[in-house]
Structure 1
Amino acid sequence: DQSTQLKKQREEKLKLLYSIDEFKFFDILDESDEILRHGKELNYTLGSAKPLDGGSMRWEIPFLIFKFIFCDQKFREILKSSSQSDDCPVVFQENFRPVTGIGGGCPLVRFIKHEYFIKNIKRNLSREFSKILLERFREKETDIIDDNGEEYGSYEDFIKGESFFKENKIIELLKTKNQDMLNSFLLVKAWLSHELLYHVMSYRYRVEYGLSEKKGKEIAIPFRGKDLPSENSEFSHPDIMIGFTILSYLYRGLDLIQVKHGLMRLKSDRKQDKDSLLQKWVQENRNWINEQNQRENEEFPEWLTSFRTLDLENEDKIV
């Protein structure tokens, strides 16, 4: 029962507390929940950059979440409809145009009401990403069951944070199955249940975060006010930085150099079906390309259909 579980948890925490004596050094933090929580701050960094634990997956999972939010037509309609309600729990600005003039076409989305996020966004995304991850790792069971047949709830419940008393067992079980699968579910859980997503998408673009105006710095940084980047500052929480960076590029778009580098890397990648992926990118951005053509009074650039006709040395054929 619940009292037995609480007693067991207390014993585990006491065991961890007693293990402090085994460490040669340790730090004691007052108000650690406040100090270590993700938040907005001006954090002036020192030293050289180091790779993040988890590698590319730390970027891949939030990218998939944002892709679903911004590209799934049904989900976009839900956000758009909610933004037009009287209480306006979410801002949805369709075809947002950044002041830079680079991007365009991506809606600007900002969460206003936390209750709306919990009841609608978190619930829907937990369900969808449970399906996505199970399909990715070819897991047919939607419930978490060990070899002895004991059930620990569904993967969706785990993402929603509703398996609190069984989380340690679930983590150990998934670790034996597939470490990448465990890491993926933990990251989705962090973004949805620990509300990294709500935090990132409740902030104002180019007021509280945005891209640096200095060349060579390609991550999002804190802003001190409207169009006032704090150039020497960075976000201390890596996942928050990742979220703000992805959003910033969605809103602003890539510049010419970044597009060129991306195309060159794709061209040199032997594992990719280059032409197919290029055509997919063009199709996804066809409306924006057509707008640029109408502005310049030009026809659709047929050389965009294949790397055989795409001249990466000619910048007029990249813009």
Structure 2
Amino acid sequence: MSVANLSALLLTTEQRTLLGGIMVNWVVEQQLERALHFANQKQREDFEKEISNVPHANWTPSMHLPWLILELEMNITIREIQIEVARHMMQPMMNENNPSMSNIVMQLNMGEGKTSVILPMLAVSVCSSPSSLVRIVVLKSLFPMNYQSLRYKLGGLLNRRVLPFACRRDMNFTDVQINKIFNRLQQGLSNHDVVLTSPEDILSFDLLTIDKCRQNQFDVGRAMLSIQRWMKMFGRDILDESDEILHVKYQLIYSIGRQQQVDGASECRSRFPEFHLLNHQPFPELCQRIANAWLNQKNDRQLDQQLILSFILDANSSINIVIDRFPYSIIQLFRIMRGLLSSEVLFVALNKRYRVNFSVNQNSKFNRLMAVPFRAKDVAADNTEFGHPDVAIVLTQLSY
């Protein structure tokens, strides 16, 4: 489009005010139509909820035109609580310990419009800044639904592109491909686009950067590291379902090197078929009995047995009490027992319910014999494993 044609599209202040007033009237008209529909369908609760929501009560449409367009395209009236949450998250209080950081977490009840309304509001407002590229982080299982929803809400009159960002270990990036990704992100910043990704994809990209450097592919590694640094400078993350995304269980592990036998493999046996602890109260007694039964199979002296018991049952005891009395291979077994008992790895395993929290995935497409996390009864969580190796081993033994 030529400059002359572009200048012809510019509106005067009076024209913008008139157009804004027409859009506000359209939004009110849509609300009245929804209220009449609920009344005709005798949906009294929805009718009362609709008419009690006063449009634009705590915000000025002329100050937030993207929100007004969202209302019009989505056929909704943004509620006051949604405006308050969006404003609060757009201008978070600065962290007193680190003034350069500004983060905030908000909680709303289910059905209050966090994903369907507030998330697009935040995205379209924050991405309007020339120094912020919005990166929306959602759960992997909700990625397709969020992608379609955001494209529908942001891709119309608002004309915002949603850029999906995916990364897996089997993606063998070259430096040319990484530079294209970098250029597309920079273009997204200038075009006020929105990036949609998941925590697994972010972690995978971080680990793949390290893996490329380990394989001496330094050009690719440097290019990927440049993207990470650039995103830390210009990226503004919006997390949906932050309690799940920020949970400690969200980790990603890339195994490297050759397979090796775990320490104490010959001693790894489980004798707790379908055994489940409801609480922590009996666990210390169970640890004492396990330790005594294990030591009774050994031929250690009485004094040595007391030192061993003190070491494996007391997490605060020093390794110095056994380090000069036993060979290294035996000390490794003591440390494994200490992890299982005093560090409560065994309690974590026995506290889980078989076939509800863990089991072996029987799906023929999942070619693994290790126990994996379950989301519900006989429903394995896709593409997940237990990150702690000792927990994975114990739960695998319990599964068989």
Shorter-chain TM-score range? 0.3 to 0.5
Q: Which has the higher contact order (CA 8 A, sep 6+)?
A: 1
| TM-score normalized by the length of structure 2 | 0.34
Which has the larger Rg?
Answer: 2
